[in-house]
A and B are shown apart, each in its own frame.
Chain A
């Protein structure tokens, strides 16, 4: 199910995020973090499973059809987020606020599980902007 050769959307996430491993500050900051996050672009294939373990980040892919592939008991993720790629882009480029995301969540356009755990993922994303 989990493919170490990150395909599709997961491949894109991999190309963006795995270079963080070359940043010693990243390794130091997330040295004690041991988490798995599944991020899914609902309009694209292959969700990205981001694992952070002792400051090392890895991205693998999970086929996202059928949706049942993405269940926690199958993948073992700690946090899950799913949205359209346009919303991901808006998030990555600071074009949507927390309020905006919350609204979309309420409207069902964004799905989140393990919200507290997802906060760590947000910190990781912040590192990309440095």
Chain B
């Protein structure tokens, strides 16, 4: 039982980076517990404190950051805490427990004409986990923002077992969930910062986050059979795929489109990535050659609820295309299967990254201006090519990135999905080296504030370059978790 919980995606190269055997298993937890309520979570945490046993909380559990970093650890699997507490369709927020998936929540909010932000990891993961404890970029970010910015009130079981409710959820009289800040210092920054604490600062048992208008008709009809469903594309949706041909030009186009606030999806992917989002197997990638050869593609999906809105958005896009002398290849060179639109609405596009080699992970990531993101892409190409030449990572010509935007182009995020084969030891070791070299590269080249910085070693590496934040983070950890009971393998210890 506990062995099954010690396995995760990417553990092979994480182990490699820690000079351990490159296997997909972490330390085996002492036990796995499944609480059904906040009170039970609290009891478990108190017992852990009493017996000096660490805990690692997980909900849907995808990724190595769900793994215990030592054997003196129990896993608290929050699967039984799976209620939607509230959907407020007037004030546009939902309150959920940890094991409500993005797709489940979206299915319910659609009944109100609303949608929810889902991270790039897919609709099967927990939006609570993304909002409280992980990064949180998403394909629909131009419309639904970033998890860090969407989190409102929170119920938080601290590492010492005390329960803290942030913002209006903590009010003595008429508590509600709407506000995550309070008259006192806002703890959201401490709780998750940009990248989350991955269970290193306690357990989140309820979260409120923003909802957004569903971008088009909520009529979501599929026919046929898996995996090649046909989807009745809602009226007023249109896809644009344009080759910006250079990164400098991409930056200009990106900023312009986002400034206009019309997109539901607006992402740059590499040519390979572009082919992948329209394919459901490596074989089906082959007929994407007409578009996969694009040098610097930009994918824009607009959606509207009325014809008037749609006409407006189309006019804006037409003007952008004319002004920037671009060409939309959709409908001329390529027409995607209708299922693409369903997956776009359901935020299922990120999982397509696995179809080539069976494994991928982002070797770097930043949240910063468009300029920094684009420069990061350009500058990282030779580094990635080095590993491609060695045959240890998949060949995307070094261009494999995902850039998407937030808050009308106010900021962007870039991450560099890198294909590797988790069953090939050479590839795993190569991927680990690639990750390490990228960290160093980001530091040396000052490539913005990274968001894949996890664990003592990384925080101590980046801290001196960023106002010694690592010292402050340690103080926070010490204040909240003096006994070091919350597993800090992917956070920071109070050493």
Contacts and interface: CB of A to CB of B under 8 A. Distances in A.
Interface in B253-307: 271-272, 283, 286-287, 289-290, 292-293, 295
B474 to A, nearest CB: 45
B287 A92 contact: no
Contact of B287 (A16, A86, A95): A16
B218 interface: no
Contacts of B308: none
A43 B289 CA distance: 21
Contact of A89 (B287, B290, B333, B395): B395
B290 A129 contact: yes
A89 B275 CA distance: 13
Given A93-B271, A95-B397, A16 B289 contact: yes
A130 B287 contact: no
A93 B287 contact: no
Interface of B is mostly: helix
Contacts of B292: 93
Interface in A79-130: 86, 89-90, 92-95, 128-130
Contacts of B289: 16, 92-93, 128-129
A33 interface: no
Nearest to A125: B289
Nearest to B391: A86
Contact of B286 (A15, A86, A94, A130): A15
Contacts of A129: 289-290, 293, 333
Nearest to B333: A130
Contacts of A16: 286-287, 289
A51 B488 CA distance: 63
Contacts of B271: 93
Contacts of B287: 15-16, 19
Interface range for A: 10 to 19
B286 A12 contact: yes
Interface residues of B, number: 13
Interface in A11-70: 12, 15-16, 19
Contacts of A86: 395
A101 to B, nearest CB: 15
Contacts of B295: 94
A128 B397 contact: no
Contacts of A130: 290, 333
Contacts of A95: 293, 397
B356 to A, nearest CB: 12
Contacts of B395: 86, 89
Nearest to B399: A95
A116 to B, nearest CB: 25
Given A12-B286, A19-B287, A86-B395, A93 B293 contact: yes
Contacts of B397: 90, 93, 95
A10 to B, nearest CB: 14
A92 B292 CA distance: 9
A93 B272 CA distance: 9
Nearest to A95: B397
A90 B395 CA distance: 10
Nearest to A13: B286
A111 to B, nearest CB: 21
Interface string B369-403: 00000000000000000000000000101000000
Contacts of A128: 289-290
A15 B286 CA distance: 8
Max count, chain B CB within 10 A of own CB: residue among A90, A128, A129: A129
A94 B290 contact: no
Nearest to B243: A94
Nearest to A16: B286
A128 B333 CA distance: 10
Nearest to A89: B395
A94 B333 contact: no
Contacts of B272: 93
Nearest to A93: B293
Nearest to A96: B397
A92 B293 contact: yes
B118 to A, nearest CB: 30
A65 B333 CA distance: 37
B473 to A, nearest CB: 41
Contacts of A90: 397
Given A90-B397, A94-B293, A128-B289, 7 more contacts: A16-B289, A86-B395, A92-B289, A93-B289, A93-B397, A95-B293, A129-B293
Interface of A: 12, 15-16, 19, 86, 89-90, 92-95, 128-130
20 contacts: A15-B287, A16-B286, A16-B287, A16-B289, A19-B287, A89-B395, A90-B397, A92-B289, A92-B293, A93-B271, A93-B293, A93-B397, A94-B293, A95-B293, A128-B289, A128-B290, A129-B289, A129-B293, A129-B333, A130-B290
